[in-house]
Amino acid sequence: MNIGEASNASGVSAKMIRYYEEIGLIRPMGRTGNNYRVYGDEEVHILRFIKRARNLGFSLEETETLLKLWQDKSRESAAVKEVATAHIGDLERRIAEMQGMVKTLKHLAHCCGGDTRPNCPILDDLAGDGAVGGDASAPAMKRKTKQHA
């Protein structure tokens, strides 16, 4: 199987497959005489594992950890659960942060006429003029991962 077929079978782009190899997330693949990478069902399975982990929002680093645990037949399930629960906590923190933004924004948008007049409570809030805005002061934590498009 060439990289294109492996890509189709796994849902991971060829570009990303090469990248994962480069950063050591997956082992360097064997090559044919023409220098093409060769993949088998095993590799496709691993790529799909990675794909699914990414879809659940795990970073590549976390995915690597999970991958190693998956391949370690003597792992303790507690280790896996710990990674998962930490990630859940992370997601929930980010969700709460964004919900705070939404709450404030909805309030401001509700107060804004949205017509042809220039008067606008949203801008007033951003400018710090009004005491309208809610709690958008906490700078928030760094984003850990980004979803692919």
Partner DNA sequence: CCTTGACCTTCCCATGATGGGAAGCTCCAC
Partner DNA sequence: GTGGAGCTTCCCATCATGGGAAGGTCAAGG
Q: Binding residue for DNA (CB under 7 A) from 4, 30, 40, 114?
A: 4
Contact criterion met (CB below 8 Å) for 82 and 129: no
60 binds, among DNA, a second copy, none (CB under 5 to 8 A by kind): DNA
Integer Cα distance of 144 and 128 in angstroms: 30
Is residue 5 near DNA by the rule CB under 7 A?
yes
Question: Phi and psi dihedrals of 31, rounded to 5?
Answer: -120, 150
| Residue that is written with structure tokens 């930490």 in the block | 86
Residue ranges that bind a second copy, judged by CB under 8 A: 45, 48-49, 52-53, 55-57, 66, 69-70, 73-78, 80-82, 84-85, 87-88, 91-92, 94-95, 97-99, 101-102, 104-106, 108-109, 112-120, 122-123, 125-128, 133, 136-143, 146-149
Q: Which is nearer to DNA, 64 or 125 (CB)?
A: 64
Integer Cα distance of 146 and 93 in angstroms: 15
Contact criterion met (CB below 8 Å) for 57 and 91: yes
| Residues near DNA (CB under 7 A), total | 28
Least distance in angstroms from the C-beta of 105 to a second copy: 5
Q: Which residues contact 68 (CB under 8 A, 6 or more apart)?
A: none
Q: Which is nearer to DNA, 3 or 44 (CB)?
A: 3
Best CA proximity match to 63, nearest among 22, 20, 27, 94: 20
Question: What residues make contact with DNA under the rule CB under 7 A?
Answer: 2-5, 7, 13-16, 18-19, 31-37, 54, 59-61, 144-149
